Structure 1
Amino acid sequence: MSSEITKMVIGIDDTDSREGMCTTYLCALLRDELSSFAQVISEPILVRLNPTIPFKTRGNASVALFIECDDKEKIIGHVTDKVSSMACLDNENTNPGVVFVDEEQFDSVSDKLSSFFKRAVKDVITIDEAKELASELNLEFQAFKNGRGLIGALSACGAMLDPDWDHTYEFLAYREKDVWGTRRSVDESSLFEADKQTYPDTWDTVDLVNDMVVCVPHSGDPVLYGIRGKDAGSVKKAASFVVSEPVERVCIYRTNQGTDMHLVSVSSISDIEEMHSYILEGEVCSEPVTIRGGHTIFMLKDVSGDVIDCAAFEPTKNFRELIRKLIPGDRVVVYGSVTENTINIEKIKITELSKAYDIRNPPCPSCGKRMKSSGSGQGYRCKKCSTSSDIPEKTEVKRDIVPGFYEVPPCARRHLAKQLLRFKNEEVPVFSGR
């Protein structure tokens, strides 16, 4: 039976697995299917949540649709049936959640859902908290299996109802179903041309420094490629240059990707918790070392003297060369997520460089030849002239690095990490990872 015309927000999360499917594809499919008996009001929302959560599927993304309809129950039934039939429910880590927010509830629930969304990007939220909030707000929802997807579904609804958060856009092209799981066919030269024609209005399509395509995934999901940029027109323009296999459907999302929404500023290492992301200023207090696997690590000290490891992991490629040039005494601001008491660096701002010196045995004042060390802590001595000295020769050397803002290359960029090209009014030079 039809009812009065009403607006509705639909949030969905956790329908995919590491092997296949994609929650954004399901959203794009639903947008097209619902259009036959409802009106889609705005572009869909794609939000990335806390990137450190260990039980996420792939990109920790949730989605939301905003529609107007005259048969709410038909919408709820269609969406629930589609999630049930297409989600990877056989996978133990796939636990979908679907939330429906009716127009009559918008005013009473918007603030709490918005707060929940922003917290879910930065913090660790339990399934019980999500279920309690959905029940407290009297929302209609469906939790499959343990219902972990309710966290993302509620968050996406909160994002849709809150216009005041930094956002970018992504154009996603999806493959025809009969080729899912096979090798993708996308002309790489067309992607480099798309980047050339639209950068800096679009970004992370390719990695010029490492000569790599970034926007084409390698998993078995339906996504063919994704173009990210500042607005819908820019990503659509870039996609027009792409030459590829047939595309089943496309969808442009408004998203919190590239916003640094996950980061929290702290002044003290004692404020840092596992599975959270931070901006932390401090002093380099150890020489960077490269360990097995190619990861480069140094220790950072805060004002209280506490220390924490900071790492440029192997996937950051040439960014590690910059990190290896740091020396004790340099002052930096690091941006990144914390796991196992180590900050995974996404960006670094070098604010002050310490002086570097070349230390050598001093010359003999009589014959001019270099003295020999007399042993640890025992100074230097010229065997020929019997002269001695306690002070080595110390010559300042020019550092092969300058203060500024540096980022990892596009091939290592995390979804939420803000690209330096989006930074404005910086007081130090900005060096793009491209």
Structure 2
Amino acid sequence: MAIAKYKFTDSWFYEKAVKDIVPLNLAKEYAEKNGIMIKGDRGIIGSIAAISYNPEEITYELITYRPEEEWSKNKREIDFNSVVNFENKYFPKVFENVDYIKKYLLISPHGHDPILYGIRGIDADILIKGLDEIKTKDSIDMAMIFKTNQATDSHITHKNYFYQTTEIVGKVLMVKIIEGGDVIINVNNESVLVYKETGELNLASKYLRKGDIIRVIGAVKPSIKFGKIIEAERIEILELNDKILRNPRCPKCNSSSESLGKNKGFRCKKCGYKFYGEKIIEKVPRELTTGIYQSRYYRHLTRPIYLDLIRNQTFNEDQISSILNKLVNYKN
């Protein structure tokens, strides 16, 4: 545990903790240098990061706590439909509280601890309403609202070191579907791995082709097979390569032709007529559109697509709520 003697304004430690690896000895040295009192060895890094948290963007989480005599209970009795109705009513100002694909709640732990549930959102006043609208047979001893960095993308860095979450922009050089369904993409000679478990992101990655321009966000990890990989959690397609070069049609019989080599012209495959001409640029339909594709399951720091769209004002809340309604009624 760490306790600061004064209001802490240095955000360096938080930035390092959220984007990098912090050794325990560095945290202790930093605490001593900055007048932070520490006790024991557990929770020091997270505590110092928390008190040096000075964010540009925040979200909120309402956490409810059980009475101490109920901490030994594993099971929480929270009404599933009340959480669905709460999120459906206030989405996207509350979010990521229900897995609509697998049909289970994301708000409660399963161990012997004080927490009953925690609900996430961007409006603290709405989260407070959850105390009345979310139904549970469990007792609530108290509740607190925390400022958090959840869903803010604060973990992303432009560096490309192991165990950091990086962002790269580049041209697709190769796409290969690996046995089992994972996809490996070569982007500017970087190996990007899109796991089958990422759902829609994995499906979209299979339709990428050489020449597409994409932005990739993902964790940099070591790989025995590939050396270094980026485990994609989001891919933004900036530009689609929807044009191909074709040989010209034969001017005599309009059949397809084959190239005779560089600057040597073409020969008709049907009648054998040789001629000179230019390659023809044709636009081909693609199974993808430009935009953001994100993993179905992602880290709690990752900003969901709909919050990004609201921030950039490319979608309004009514449009996004209609997306949620489709999820609520989705039949897997």
Q: TM-score range by the shorter chain?
A: 0.7 to 0.9
Describe the shift of the 1:427–1:100 C-alpha distance in structure 2 as closer, same or farther (beyond 3 A): closer
Q: Percent identity?
A: 26
- Which of 106, 117, 130 does residue 215 from structure 1 map onto? 106
Q: How does 1:178-189 map to 2 (within 5 A)?
A: 178-180=72-74, 182=75, 184-189=76-81
Corresponding residue of 1:48:
none
Report if the CA contact (8 A) 1:197-1:238 is conserved: no
Which AA in structure 2 matches 1:422?
L
Pair 1:204 & 2:86 matched: no
Corresponding residue of 2:211:
329
RMSD of aligned Cα (Å): 3.5
Corresponding residue of 2:171:
283
Pair 1:262 & 2:262 matched: no
Higher deviation after alignment, 186-195 or 251-260? 186-195
Describe the shift of the 1:370–1:236 C-alpha distance in structure 2 as closer, same or farther (beyond 3 A): same
CA distance in 1, matches of 2:118, 2:181: 29
CA distance in 2, matches of 1:262, 1:201: 22
Deviation at 1:364, TM superposition (A): 6.9
CA distance in 2, matches of 1:101, 1:425: 34
Q: How does 1:30-429 map to 2 (within 5 A)?
A: 98-102=1-5, 106=6, 110-112=8-10, 114-143=11-40, 147=41, 149-159=43-53, 162=54, 164-174=55-65, 176-180=70-74, 182=75, 184-208=76-100, 210=101, 212-213=103-104, 215-216=106-107, 219-220=110-111, 222=113, 223-238=115-130, 240-249=132-141, 250-264=143-157, 266=158, 271-287=159-175, 289-301=176-188, 307-340=189-222, 341-357=228-244, 382=269, 385-386=271-272, 395-409=282-296, 412-423=297-308, 426=312
Which AA in structure 1 matches 2:38?
F
CA distance in 2, matches of 1:139, 1:350: 45
Deviation at 1:413, TM superposition (A): 2.3
1:240 match: secondary structure: helix
Q: Please list the CA deviations of residues 104-161 of structure 1 after superposition, one character each: whole Å capped at 9, or x if unmatched.
A: xx15xx244x321222111211111111122223432112xxx2531112112222xx
CA distance in 1, matches of 2:92, 2:304: 10
Describe the shift of the 1:225–1:388 C-alpha distance in structure 2 as closer, same or farther (beyond 3 A): farther
CA distance in 2, matches of 1:345, 1:239: 36
Q: Please list the CA deviations of residues 167-221 of structure 1 after superposition, one character each: whole Å capped at 9, or x if unmatched.
A: 11112345632322x4x5433322221111110111112345x364452456535
CA distance in 2, matches of 1:290, 1:225: 40
Deviation at 1:298, TM superposition (A): 0.9
Corresponding residue of 1:59:
none
Describe the shift of the 1:296–1:157 C-alpha distance in structure 2 as closer, same or farther (beyond 3 A): same
Report if the CA contact (8 A) 2:184-2:193 is conserved: yes
Aligned residues: 303
TM-score (norm 2): 0.76
Deviation at 1:293, TM superposition (A): 4.1
Corresponding residue of 2:327:
none
Q: Please list the CA deviations of residues 366-411 of structure 1 after superposition, one character each: whole Å capped at 9, or x if unmatched.
A: 677778999xxxx9774x74557999987431223222233333xx
Describe the shift of the 1:194–1:263 C-alpha distance in structure 2 as closer, same or farther (beyond 3 A): same
Which AA in structure 2 matches 1:196?
N
CA distance in 1, matches of 2:129, 2:315: 30
Describe the shift of the 1:274–1:219 C-alpha distance in structure 2 as closer, same or farther (beyond 3 A): farther
Report if the CA contact (8 A) 1:168-1:257 is conserved: yes
Q: Please list the CA deviations of residues 288-315 of structure 1 after superposition, one character each: whole Å capped at 9, or x if unmatched.
A: x3324432221111xxxxx212233233
Describe the shift of the 1:342–1:322 C-alpha distance in structure 2 as closer, same or farther (beyond 3 A): same
CA distance in 1, matches of 2:299, 2:51: 23
Unmatched segments (≥5 aa) in structure 1:
1-97, 302-306
CA distance in 2, matches of 1:122, 1:137: 21
Describe the shift of the 1:252–1:294 C-alpha distance in structure 2 as closer, same or farther (beyond 3 A): farther
1:414 match: secondary structure: coil
Describe the shift of the 1:372–1:244 C-alpha distance in structure 2 as closer, same or farther (beyond 3 A): farther
Deviation at 1:331, TM superposition (A): 1.3
1:116 match: secondary structure: helix
